[in-house]
Amino acid sequence: MKYFSLEYISIITGFLLVVIGIWGILTQKNIIKMIIGFTIFDTGLHVIMVSIAYVRGKTAPILDDAVGIKDVADKIVDPVPQALVLTAIVIGLGVTANVSLCN
């Protein structure tokens, strides 16, 4: 059952969150709930991104003593999506803030 491994579970979670978020955006009459839907949607996206970055059995891309600086490529997960997530989070924040402002 390969689908029970970490990356699959997290990416499914991500997808589910996205759908739930959209559901919230589309159906909720309460604006606050809509905004919450938005954040869920964003969160789902971020989870997906992180899942994409995951490389089986690897660790965070911080070259501390535990990782060392040699053969780094075999030890860490992909840092790029993580950097993107960082940006995306802030952007999501901006968007959400604006959405909520517009009420």
Partner 1 sequence: MISPIHIITIALGTAFALGFTGKLSQKISAFIMLAAVGMLTFISAQWVYAFYSGGQETIQIFTAGFKPPYSVNLQMGYQEAVISLMINFVGLLSGIYLFKTLVKQGKNAIAVYIILLMGLNVIVLTQDMFNLFVFLEVQSIATAGLIVLHKKKHAVSSGFKYMVATGIIAGLLLLGIIFAYYFTGSLNIQDFINANMTASKGGAIAVFLILGAILLELKPFPANGWALDVYQSAKPGLSAIISSASGTAVLFVLYKIAAIGSFDSYDLLANLGIITFVGSNLLGIKQKNAQRLLGYSSVGQIGLLVMIIGFGPVLGDKFQFIAFTIVVAHFLAKAGLFWLAGIVKKDNIKKWSALRKKPFLLVLFGTFVFTLIGFPPFPSFFGKWELIMVLAAKSNMIWVAAILLGSFFEGIYLFKWLGYVIKGEVSEKKTIKVPVHKIIPVAIVGILTYVVGFFSSTFVEGGDIINYLPLFFIAALFFVDFLPAFVKNIIAIAGMAYYGYTFLPELYEKDLLRFIFGTIFIGGGILTLIAGFYAKGKRQGFYPAALIMFAGLGGIIQAENMLQFFFAWELMTLGSYILIIRGKRSMPHGYSYMLFSVAGAYLMLIGFAMTNAQAGISLDALSMITSHANLIYLMLAIGFMTKTATVGLHIWLPGAHAEAESDVSPMVSAILLKAGVFGLIILFIAMGAESAGTNPILYILGWLGAITALVGNLAASFQEDAKKLLAYSSIGQLGYILFAFAIMTHLGWLTGITYSINHFLFKAVLFLAIGAVVLRVKTHKMYEMGGLIKRMPLAFIAVLIGIITLSGVPPLSGFAGKWLFYNAVILKGWYFQGAIVFFAGIIAFLYCFRLIYAVFLGQLKDEHRNVKEISIWFIIPIYILIIGIMIFSARPDLILQPIGDAIAGYFPSETLNWNDTTASTTLGYWSGYRVMIIIGIMFTILFAWLALFNRKSKKVKQFNIVYSGERPERPETTHVAHNMYAGYNKALGLLVAPFITQFWNYMSETVKGTAGFVRRVYTGNGQTYALHIIMYLVIIYLIVF
Partner 2 sequence: MLKNSFILAILIAFSLIFVSLFISYEGNDELSNLGKYYAENGVQEVGAQNLVTSIVVTYRGIDTLGEVVILFLTAAIIGFFLKLSKKDSKNGKRVEKLREASEILKTGSQALVPLIFMFGMYIFINGHLTPGGGFQGGAVIATGFVLMMIANPVQKVKHGVLAFVESISGFSFVVIGILGIVLAGGFLDNHILKLGTFGEILSAGAIPIIYSFIGLKVGAELSGIVGSFNEIQAEK
Contacting residues toward partner 1, per CB under 8 A: 18, 22, 25-27, 34, 38, 41-42, 45, 48-49, 52, 80-81, 84, 87-88, 91, 94-96, 98-99, 101-103
Q: Answer yes or no: are the C-beta atoms of 89 and 53 closer than 8 Å.
A: no
Would you call 71 helix, strand, or coil by DSSP? Answer: coil
Nearer to partner 2, 11 or 40 (CB): 11
Supply the minimum distance, in Å, between the C-beta of residue 102 and partner 2.
9
Query: Considering just the CA atoms, what is the radius of gyration of the chain in Å?
Result: 17
Q: Answer yes or no: are the C-beta atoms of 9 and 16 closer than 8 Å.
A: no
Owner of token pair 């997290």: 10
Q: Report the alpha-carbon distance of residue 51 to residue 14 in Å, rounded.
A: 8
Contact residues toward partner 2 (CB under 8 A) are: 5, 7-8, 11-12, 15, 18-19, 22-23, 26-27, 52-56, 60-64, 69, 72-74, 76-80, 82-84, 86-87, 89-91, 93-94, 97-98, 100-101
